[in-house]
């Protein structure tokens, strides 16, 4: 990469917000090293996302810290030392302070949700604080919520605000993928493979709940990669009695044809109707257990179990693809900062290219992608059409082509 000098030494703040995702550390490392080595810039790391900024404002406004003390602490406690000081929420970073992060999961600066940031009064204080620190650009790394917070800040200040999509949910409009998605998919696929081995031994149905907030992307995509029989996502409506009966009947047909187990992936955002106390995976698993217990013959012995993958999906070392993606985002962020146009927006990967998208893209694109994936998974997971395993007709093949063509 060619080093490009910016007109003046820039001060750039960086924060990680929302839920963590694997690859955030790799992004932080690349961003800080590029800033120090190629762009001769100062990089301020903010701990715990927007919360670190709000906490700093509160300390200053309640008098726990004077402005002078705040600024001299920042000078005295730089790099690794400042990171280890629990009472310090912002710290100037250097190349050394991001050592060892290339393949470490989580995020070394911490990451949090911050309800205060929804209120303009807190955001105004944050804007004043960043002005006092002479910050030129703010880089926010996180999911859809984090980028909405970034959009608000950009609207309400003169700052250049850049959003970097980093979320396992892959629910950020405008970009094809985000930092952490590939690793989470690999984790889920590995888990599904383990569950399928034990389910096959015990002639069981496994219903697995996949984290992903209101998005069915992870469940849908991992179903395709791992070979799950059925996938239930929020994009396809509520999980009501009719849908559960349909699933039970489909699993029953599979078992009658000799299948020893079935894997069903349910996205956590699926709403059970009528509302149940349990999550969607447990509700469906209980329904299936009851359905099979009422059958006669060998199918009567089929059990159904559920498991929630939860935060397991967020942890672990990032995949190679996520590490590379994180580095690409870092390069792209510095290109925008050094261009000196002060234009903000979301860095997005589209058709293999990094671009700066304006804030506030619609979610319509996401929904179209999900539908084509649904069709593909549906066709690929079907072993037999009709009675014969070889009876795959022309219309079915046409359906698969449609699914590919739409992508
Ligand atoms: P993940 O995808 O991992 O859930 P996320 O970034 O979508 O990450 P959220 O909890 O939705 O996680 O948002 C993170 C934080 O961003 C919120 O706690 C809040 O501080 C800020 N935020 C979200 N939406 C807004 C908004 N509309 N206005 C201002 N700030 C917001």
Confidence of residue 144 (pLDDT cuts 50, 70, 90): very high
Q: If we measure between CA atoms, which residue out of 60, 327, 381, 404 comes closest to residue 192?
A: 381
What are the sequence ranges of the domains in the chain?
11-180+318-362, 184-313
Q: Catalytic one among 48, 136, 169, 171?
A: 169
pLDDT in tens, 2-23: 555 446 789 999 999 999 999 9
Task: Give the ligand 1 atom nearest the CA of 144.
Answer: 7
Q: Is 169 a catalytic residue?
A: yes
DSSP 74: H
More confident residue, 301 or 317: 317
pTM of structure: 0.89
- Under 8 Å CB-to-CB from 385, ≥6 apart: which residues? 391, 392, 393, 396
Q: Is the CB of 11 under 6 A from ligand 1?
A: no
Which protein residue's CA is at the shortest distance from atom 30 of ligand 1? 149
Q: Is the CB of 143 under 6 A from ligand 1?
A: yes
Quick one: average pLDDT of 213-239? 93
Map residue 163 onto helix, strand or coil: strand
Q: Is the pLDDT of residue 321 over 60?
A: yes
Task: Give the ligand 1 atom nearest the CA of 171.
Answer: 2
Q: Do domains 11-180+318-362 and 184-313 have the same CATH topology?
A: yes
184-313: CATH architecture:
3-Layer(aba) Sandwich (3.40)
More confident residue, 402 or 236: 236
Taking the centre of ligand 1 as the mean of its atom positions, its distance from the CA of residue 338, in whole angstroms, is 27
Q: Is the CB of 152 under 6 A from ligand 1?
A: yes
Cis-peptide, bond into residue 56, ω within 30° of zero: no
Give, in degrees to the nearest 5, the angle at Cα 397 between 395 and 402: 90
Diameter of the chain measured on Cα atoms:
80
pLDDT in tens, 35-74: 999 999 999 999 999 999 999 999 999 988 899 999 999 9
Residue 45: enclosing H or E segment and its boundaries?
strand 42-46
pLDDT in tens, 163-201: 999 999 998 988 999 999 999 999 999 999 999 999 998
Q: CA 330, CA 41: separation in Å to the nearest integer? A: 14
- Decide yes or no: CATH 3.40.50.720 for domain 11-180+318-362: no
């Amino acid at each position: 990469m060619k080093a490009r000098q910016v007109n003046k030494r820039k001060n750039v703040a960086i924060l990680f917000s929302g839920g963590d995702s694997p690859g955030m550390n790799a992004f932080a490392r690349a961003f800080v090293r590029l800033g120090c080595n190629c762009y001769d810039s100062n990089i301020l790391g903010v701990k715990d996302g927007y919360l670190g900024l709000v906490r700093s404002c509160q300390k200053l406004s309640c008098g726990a810290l004077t402005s002078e003390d705040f600024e001299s602490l920042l000078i005295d406690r730089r790099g690794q030392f400042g990171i280890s000081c629990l009472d310090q929420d912002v710290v100037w970073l250097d190349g050394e302070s991001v050592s060892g992060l290339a393949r470490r999961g989580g995020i070394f600066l911490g990451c949090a949700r911050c309800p205060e940031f929804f209120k303009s009064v807190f955001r105004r204080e944050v804007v004043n604080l960043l002005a006092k620190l002479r910050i030129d650009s703010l880089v926010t790394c996180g999911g859809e919520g984090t980028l909405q917070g970034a959009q608000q800040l950009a609207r309400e200040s003169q700052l250049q605000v850049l959003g970097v999509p980093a979320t396992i949910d892959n629910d950020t409009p405008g970009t094809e993928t985000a930092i952490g998605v590939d690793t989470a998919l690999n984790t889920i696929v590995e888990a599904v493979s383990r569950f399928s081995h034990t389910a096959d031994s015990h002639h069981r149905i496994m219903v697995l709940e996949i984290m992903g907030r209101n998005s069915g992307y992870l469940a849908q995509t991992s179903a395709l990669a791992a070979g799950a029989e059925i996938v239930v996502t929020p994009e396809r409506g509520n999980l009501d009695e009719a849908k559960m009966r349909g699933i039970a009947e489909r699993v029953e047909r599979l078992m009658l044809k000799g299948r020893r187990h079935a894997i069903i992936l349910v996205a956590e955002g699926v709403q059970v109707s009528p509302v149940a106390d349990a999550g969607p995976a447990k509700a469906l698993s209980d329904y299936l257990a009851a359905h099979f217990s009422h059958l006669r013959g060998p199918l009567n012995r089929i059990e159904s179990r559920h498991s929630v993958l939860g935060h397991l999906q967020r942890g672990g070392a990032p995949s190679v693809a996520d590490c590379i993606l994180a580095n690409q985002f870092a390069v792209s962020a510095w290109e925008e900062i050094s261009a000196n146009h002060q234009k903000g927006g979301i860095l997005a990967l589209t058709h293999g290219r990094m671009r700066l998208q304006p804030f506030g893209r619609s979610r319509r694109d996401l929904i179209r992608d999900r539908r084509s994936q649904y069709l593909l998974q549906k066709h690929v997971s079907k072993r037999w059409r009709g009675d014969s395993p070889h009876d795959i007709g022309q219309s079915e093949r046409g359906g698969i082509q449609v699914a590919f063509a739409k992508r």
